[in-house]
Amino acid sequence: MPQSDGFHVKPTDCTDYDFLKIEPHWQSIWEQTRPFRAENGSTKPKYYVLDMFPYPSGAGLHIGHPEGYTATDILARYKRAKGFNVLHPIGWDAFGLPAEQHAVRTGTHPASNTQNNIKNFRRQIRALGFSYDWEREVDTTDPKYFRWTQWIFLQLFKKGLAYVDERPVWWCPELRTVLANEEVVDGKSEVGGFPVERKNLRQWVLRITAYAEQLIDGLKDVDWPDSTKRMQEAWIGRSEGAEVLFKLENAALGDLKIFTTRPDTLFGCTYMVLAPEHPLVPGLTTDAQREVVDAYRKATASKSDVDRMSDAAKEKTGVFTGSYAINPVNGARVPIWIADYVLMGYGTGAIMAVPAHDERDWDFAHLFNLPVQKVIAGGSGPNDWTATTARIVRVGGEVRKVDMRLALEGEMIDSDFLDGKTTSEARTAIIDWLEQNGRGKRRVNYKLRDWLFSRQRYWGEPFPIVWVSEADYARAATVRPELPKNPVTFVEGGGVQYALPLPEVALPLQLPDVQSYLPSGTGESPLANVPAWLEIWFNAETGEAVPASQAKPAGDAWLRGRRETNTMPQWAGSCWYYLRYLDPQNAETFAGKDALAYWGVPDLYVGGAEHAVLHLLYARFWHKVLFDLGAVPQAEPFKKLFHQGIILGEDGVKMSKTRGNVVNPDDIIRDYGADTLRLYLMFLGPLEAMKPWNPKGIEGVHRFLRKFWRECIGEDGKLNSRVSDSAALTADAEKLRHETIKKVGEDLDAMRFNTAISQMMIYVNALQKEPALPRIVLLEFAQMLAPFAPHFGEELWTRLGGTGSAMAAAWPMFDPAKLVADTMTIVFQVNGKHRGDAQVPVASSEADLIKIAQEHPKVAPHLAGKALKRTIYVKGKLLNLLVA
């Protein structure tokens, strides 16, 4: 801590451990001396430790926040003591639905409610003594921040990674508004319980699928929990296969393109299935089938994803179109069905069905009496078969139980030129054949879908986009060389609208004030209700705008435009905030080159596993785009990731208001102090584990602090009389001292906070029994404790006469020579059973030990009258005597 500021650091004057005095005292000192400032351009090595920044909800800090935040704070303080220039920032992910809902209810601007919540969060976080660099605080709703969120969007736009499309949203006719997924409960609106339906609206979509391969590849290079990597992999869902073209009997309709991962089973295809939404369906439907097909398509359309998903567990449905396709490999005529078990959004929305070797096709075929053609003879490996299951099938109203055991891998049969090959050989051979004959090709497919990136809400970043006519866009293009090659367009009201981005100089595009936060009623955001902002004369060169109701300003660059009314989702601001912390005041760029070069990306990122996929995938996507633009130097944003576990209520279930088991950090701080809370959160168990809160357990760590206080401070508030500069520890305590320094350091490096605390408790228990205490030993311990309990550590460090701050001192080193003892404990086993132990000189040989064991009163009886066959000696630990 800098003493040069002229701020004289004094402890409090309390005699007891009065945390209510001590904690605010040190907090105010930290506020005035700002010791946690991270310095850009330091010569020290850097360490960047990042917390997932919170959404500042009205409920205040949840106990889960300080859990992860304490862990990172301990590491931040520890690394500073180890000589690192530490960047440990905090900010607010402050756009979001609750603030908007509050605004709708109260009519007040969401910004004011948001700022109040931030104030409360800031107060609570300060009360916990976290060593954040407050000069780097970011707020995603601050125009100075979201200017750069919009700027990054423009980079995506320019690269052709942003487009518009009609996508279904939840629409509630009664409320005349679009609802978020979480606002829909059981097919009804959460507010009012009105029915909701699907409605297509114009949406912004980000082409994250263009990065699917890189997003999988990058996982190799990061130190993340395996489960999180696997979740992302599964979410991206890469699969290799082939695209196959089937001719249609009605040649006028062209070819039917399908995707399959099992081209080897092409000879086993006995029917085709299209998603009900497939564009070829109307053309393929024969007059005789038109009625049932239309009815089925209508029924599917009215189903939500959720319905379709829950139906999946039930029976398959589908109808025949009346048309046939031709199998390119054998000319077989196969019927074309539609069924909602085929999804339009994956592959080509059409499949070849091979009921003999695919469980889903098997079910469908048995339900509708479609033929089954075996093409795999089965193999010998454990994964060559599906599990044998008895399936209930209905054949014309009759219910039957059928055994199913489908070969998945093995030897090809009844497949012409593939016969005799293994399935994996056949996959290669058939793709070669398809390519040579122009009937298909190798293809990789992903489950990952493009990212729906717009919301019909007020409280989000506005899109820096103005919709203009084709002619105006062409005019703008002459002065705006950066416009994408393929314009983003949308057909609306009979005309084609062109998306014209704001020039970067015109950012940020701010939210206009609105009369009401209620949605527009048409499905558009409340922004659609602000004509002066919405309908404008727009200067394509400068980005300036005047309301369209006014006269058109002079000059060629002025165009008639309508602003985009969608706003960005909450993910946007959190996609890049870790970069803004590097250089938060920079008005020229999102982060300066020097800051990016020095700080790079976080060395450690700690946050909940609930963000394993979405936030962490979206942020990686944006980062890779920035990397490809040369805007950031690394390809991956988060080198090392750690998930803290959830803290359950004392009843062992998730904390919730309705259960009344919520722990409020404010209450704990009032009753025990922030230092005790921090220590207890870390002592509860491994950071990554899910663990219940035990209100009684907190007493233990509180007693531990008080115990060490008493060792240092007497009842009069002065130094304890047992403390002196001339005292020395007993040999055992001296050894324990060095063991403790070693273990605490190792445990901190490995993020095992619970065992570090336990070791410190063992050490203090031993110090308590010492006849005299060297002052240096207590100083050293106060320093070791300071990352965990910073106010307490500083208070005692200062009272013990430490110079400066406990945090400014170099981290204690252990002396390996002090760890070696001259005796060791050897455990004696007879035939593997523990029978006794002995303290022996370190130099003892195996032969010495055997002799000691044979004379040992507890061991000898088990050896009596038996012959020693063999001994196993684990050096310094154990001697196992095998007798018979």
Partner RNA sequence: GCCCGGGUGGCGGAAUGGUAGACGCAGGGGACUUAAAAUCCCCUUUUCGCAAGGAAGUGCGGGUUCGAGUCCCGCCCCGGGCACCA
Find the binding residues for RNA in span 809-828 (CB under 7 A): 825, 827
Distance CA 236, CA 230 (A): 10
Query: Candidates 21-29, 491-499, 726-734, 871-879 — which segment interacts with RNA by CB under 7 A?
Result: 871-879
SS3 544: coil
Name which position in 237, 487, 512, 608 contacts RNA (CB under 7 A): 237
Residue span binding RNA (CB under 7 A) among the ranges 65-73, 222-230, 401-409, 811-819:
222-230
Which one of 146, 259, 622, 642 is in contact with RNA (CB under 7 A)? 259
The footprint of RNA on residues 768-797 (CB under 7 A) is 768-769
By CB under 7 A, the count of residues binding RNA is 83
119, 123, 659, 834: which one contacts RNA (CB under 7 A)? 834
Give strand ranges (E) for 382-532. Answer: 389-395, 398-404, 440-446, 451-452, 465-468, 489-492, 495-501
Among 701, 767, 779, 786, binds RNA (CB under 7 A): 701
3-class secondary-structure state, position 2? coil
* Binding residue (CB under 7 A) for RNA from 15, 28, 108, 227: 227
For the segment 469-528, give every residue that binds RNA (CB under 7 A).
Answer: none
Distances in Å between the Cα of 369 and the Cα atoms of 248, 562, 624 are: 22, 56, 50
Q: Which is nearer to RNA, 39 or 315 (CB)?
A: 315
Alpha helices in 654-730 (DSSP H): 665-672, 674-683, 698-712
- Report the alpha-carbon distance of residue 308 to residue 293 in Å, rounded: 17
Nearest to 246 by CA among 443, 439, 444: 439
Residues 326-365 interacting with RNA (rule: CB under 7 A): 340-343, 345-347, 349, 351, 358, 360, 363
Q: Which amino acid is at 741?
A: I
Residues numbered 545 to 604 that lie near RNA (CB under 7 A) are none
**Which residue's CB is nearer to RNA, number 203 or number 759?**
759
**What are the strands of the beta sheet with 85-87, ordered from one edge?**
85-87, 46-51, 604-606, 641-642
Q: To the nearest whole angstrom, how small is the minimum distance from the Cβ of residue 720 to RNA?
A: 13
Least CB distance to RNA at residue 788 (A) = 13
Looking up tokens 């360490």 gives 47
- As measured in angstroms, the least distance from the Cβ of 806 to RNA is 22
Q: Which span (39-47, 474-482, 569-577, 606-614) binds RNA, by CB under 7 A?
A: 606-614
Classify burial at 44, counting beta carbons within 10 Å of its beta carbon; exposed 0-12, middle 13-18, buried 19 or more: exposed
Smallest gap, in angstroms, from Cβ of residue 198 to RNA? 16
Using the rule CB under 7 A, which residue among 60, 168, 512, 700 binds RNA?
700
CB contact at 8 A, 456 and 201: yes
- Partners of 622 in the β-ladder: none
Whether the CB-CB separation of 321 and 337 falls below 8 Å is answered with: yes
Q: To the nearest whole angstrom, how small is the minimum distance from the Cβ of residue 833 to RNA?
A: 7
Which residues neighbour 351 within 8 Å (Cβ) at sequence distance 6 or greater?
258, 259, 260, 272, 273, 342
The nearer residue to RNA, 445 or 454, going by C-beta atoms, is 445
- In the complex with RNA, the residue whose CB is nearer, 715 or 725, is 715
Cα Rg, the chain, nearest whole Å: 35
327 or 798: CB nearest RNA: 327
Nearer Cβ to RNA (312/496): 312
Nearer Cβ to RNA (74/545)? 74
CB of residue 426 to RNA, shortest distance in Å: 14
Quick one: which of 512, 592, 692, 804 contacts RNA (CB under 7 A)?
Answer: 692
| Nearest CB to RNA, comparing residues 126 and 238 | 238
Taking the C-alpha atoms of residue 536 and residue 380, their distance in angstroms, rounded to an integer, is 71
Name which of residues 650 to 689 contact RNA (CB under 7 A). Answer: 683-686, 689
Token couple for 762: 């063992």
* Integer Cα distance of 613 and 654 in angstroms: 21
- Of residues 127, 275, 575, 625, which one binds RNA by CB under 7 A? 275
Terminal C-alpha separation, the chain: 67
Q: Does 714 bind RNA (CB under 7 A)?
A: no
Q: What is the DSSP string of 580-640?
A: HTTSTT-SSSSS-HHHHHHH-S-SEEE--GGGTTHHHHHHHHHHHHHHHTTSSS-S-S-SB
The amino acid present at 516, given as its one-letter code, is S
Among 79, 88, 262, 611, binds RNA (CB under 7 A): 262
Pick one of 538, 704, 797, 811: the residue that binds RNA (CB under 7 A). Answer: 704
Amino acid at 394: R
Taking the complex as a whole, the smallest distance from the CB of residue 268 to RNA amounts, in Å, to 11
Subset of 386-415 contacting RNA (CB under 7 A): 387
User: Minimal distance in Å, beta carbon 801 to RNA?
Assistant: 24
Give the binding range for RNA (CB under 7 A) out of 225-233, 282-290, 554-562, 657-665: 225-233
Cis peptide before 89 (omega within 30 of 0): no
CA distance 789 to 806: 11
Residue closer to RNA (CB basis): 333 or 769: 769
Interacting span for RNA (CB under 7 A) from 27-35, 89-97, 231-239, 845-853: 231-239
Complete DSSP assignment for 394-424: EETTEEEEEEE--B-SSBB-S-GGGTTSBHH
- Any idea what DSSP says for residue 37? P
Binding positions for RNA, 281-320, rule CB under 7 A = 308-309, 311-313, 316
Binding mask 744-773 for RNA (x = CB under 7 A): --------x-xx-xx--xx--x--xx----
Q: How far is CA 495 from the centre of its chain?
A: 41
Residue 829 interacts with RNA (CB under 7 A)? yes
d(CA 261, CA 139): 46
Phi, psi angle pair for 774, to nearest 5°: -65, 135
**Minimum distance from CB of 7 to RNA (Å)?**
34
Please say whether the dihedral angle defined by the alpha carbons of residues 129, 130, 135 and 137, taken in this order, is positive or negative. negative
Looking at the Cβ atoms of 309 and 819, the one nearer to RNA is 309
User: In whole angstroms, what is the distance from residue 239 CA to residue 241 CA?
Assistant: 7
Among the listed ranges 256-264, 414-422, 513-521, 617-625, the one in contact with RNA (CB under 7 A) is 256-264
- Taking the C-alpha atoms of residue 442 and residue 433, their distance in angstroms, rounded to an integer, is 11
> Residue 560 or residue 707: which is nearer to RNA going by CB?
707
Report the distance separating Cα 350 and Cα 256, nearest Å.
8
Q: Is 57 exposed, middle or buried (0-12, 13-18, 19+ CB in 10 A)?
A: middle
Where in 102-141 is the site for RNA (CB under 7 A)? none
Query: Residue 567: how many CB atoms within 10 A of its CB?
Result: 24
* Among the listed residues 823, 831, 811, the one whose alpha carbon sits nearest the alpha carbon of residue 883: 831
Using the rule CB under 7 A, give the single segment among 181-189, 232-240, 460-468, 556-564 that binds RNA.
232-240
Interaction of residue 616 with RNA, rule CB under 7 A: no
Which residues within the stretch 410-449 sit at the binding site for RNA (CB under 7 A)? 445, 447
Question: Among 54, 64, 68, 241, which residue sits at the site for RNA (rule: CB under 7 A)?
Answer: 241
Q: Report the residue from 235, 490, 627, 814 that binds RNA according to the rule CB under 7 A.
A: 235
Instruction: Output the smallest distance, CB 645 to RNA, in A.
Output: 8
> Considering only 234-242, 429-437, 484-492, 619-627, which stretch makes contact with RNA by CB under 7 A?
234-242
